[in-house]
Each structure stands twice: as structure tokens, then as C-alpha cells.
Chains A and B, each alone.
Chain A
């Protein structure tokens, strides 16, 4: 689906990346622990998180994450917004909690970027 569909499904506010709404996304990963994101998330996925600091943007950039969805109505700091603009990473914010956000996207066809962790060592 397009990022604009994600926005509509989640009744989300686009904070950065209004011009990226045509981007296609198929998969997502949700976590507040950035080391887990680095361990498991795949490039081109949505990142669902409640964390709002600049490290979320850095993590997304390192992994080529398609867009960041902030859950639980979290608002990023000015510094986070500035870095997201610089690195061209869209940020959307939704009032839904992480569970609802994931569920609503899954119902419409977005799947996890991996279904389960089979082997915690040698994960790449």
C-alpha cells in the first residue's frame, strides 16, 4: 500500500515527508528497543515505535527504513524533526497504541518484516 493509505488507516498526522505519500510499503517492524530494530528490521519497512529521540532517526537511516510511525500520540522533538528532514525519513504520528497500530495495518495487508525469530544468534 502507499504511505498515504497508512496515514488514513491510522488517522495519522504527517510530521515529516508530506511529499513521500506515494511511497509503497509492504512490511513493518515494531519496537522501542533500537538494538532489536537493528537486529531484526529489514530495509524498506515501516518502523512502529514509541521512542521519539534522534536515535530513532539514526536507526532508521542505518537500516533504510521507509518511514517512522510514532504510536501513542508521541510527538518528536524539534531536533528529531530536523534530522528526519535532513535524512529524508518520513515521520507520522498516530494516537493508536502500538498493538492497535500494528493490528490495523495487518488487517489491511501489511505484514511483519520477519514472522518470527528462529535463531537469536546469527540472525542476519
Chain B
């Protein structure tokens, strides 16, 4: 549809579940890609925050995940598709403070039941679907000028 949907970047990244030391590598990459594309700093931070919290969730709970970054003129879209246990009750999981985190996750400074809330609050548009025993699919959209 002309200029409004012009694709500026498309790329995918992998996250390995359980690898706590690697959590944050993908969001650091996403941050530098968006910076290079000239996205304003506050929007780059929003995108980095949502992808970082999503990464923390993947290393904490899932087997693995693919992150798709799509930058079009007007939007940054980050999709995180994991293979994992899924979320039985999304409404409950979205409640701030609700968490199933273990000690290891808490030692990293996470696991207080804020991740999905932070992701939702920093996204202009947020979608979550999940299937128990299969995995969870997050889609975050951040509007850009």
C-alpha cells in the first residue's frame, strides 16, 4: 500500500531456553538495529524493554523461541514465538504480581510478575496467544513517526 508500509528491516533471532547468561543479547541487537535505522531514542528504548522482558520469559520458562523483528515506516513489530509449556490462564498471567518464577529467576532480578505487564505497558499494541504444551506467541507493535 505504497509508502506507509515500506519495509525497512526484517530479521529473525533465536533464543535458547534456560540459558540465563544469554538473556538480553537479542534485545541488545534489536536496539542497535533500530538505532541504525534512525528510530527515535525513546521508541528504541520501548522496543528494547519489551523484547528484553520477553527474552527473560523465554529463558525462564520456554525451550526455545524465534524473535521476528519487522520495521516498516510507521511501526516496529516484534514477535516472540516460543516452544514451551504455554500459559494456561492468560488473564491471570497478565495480572501484575502473579508469577510462577523460581529462585534462579528471582536471583537475576526478575520473577515478580511484572514482565507481561511491562511488555503491555510499553507496547502501543500487544497481542498474546498461548497453547498449553505447545507454546506462547507474543506480538508487540510500537508506532514510529
Contacts and interface: CB of A to CB of B under 8 A. Distances in A.
Given A35-B109, A55-B110, A61 B121 contact: no
How big is chain B's contact interface, by range? 20 to 34
Given A53-B107, A64-B45, A124 B122 contact: yes
Contacts, number: 81
Interface in B48-68: 48-49, 52-53, 56
Interface of B: 20-21, 23-24, 27-28, 31, 41-42, 45-46, 48-49, 52-53, 56, 96, 107-110, 112, 114-115, 117-118, 121-122
Nearest to A64: B45
A35 to B, nearest CB: 4
Contacts of A34: 108-110
B45 A33 contact: no
B24 A39 contact: no
Contacts of A120: 96
Contacts of B112: 33, 35-36
Contacts of A121: 96, 117, 121
A58 interface: yes
B21 A62 contact: no
29 contacts: A32-B109, A33-B112, A35-B110, A35-B112, A35-B114, A35-B118, A36-B114, A38-B52, A39-B117, A43-B42, A43-B45, A49-B109, A51-B109, A53-B109, A54-B21, A54-B24, A55-B24, A58-B23, A58-B28, A61-B31, A62-B27, A62-B28, A62-B45, A62-B48, A63-B45, A121-B121, A122-B121, A124-B46, A124-B121
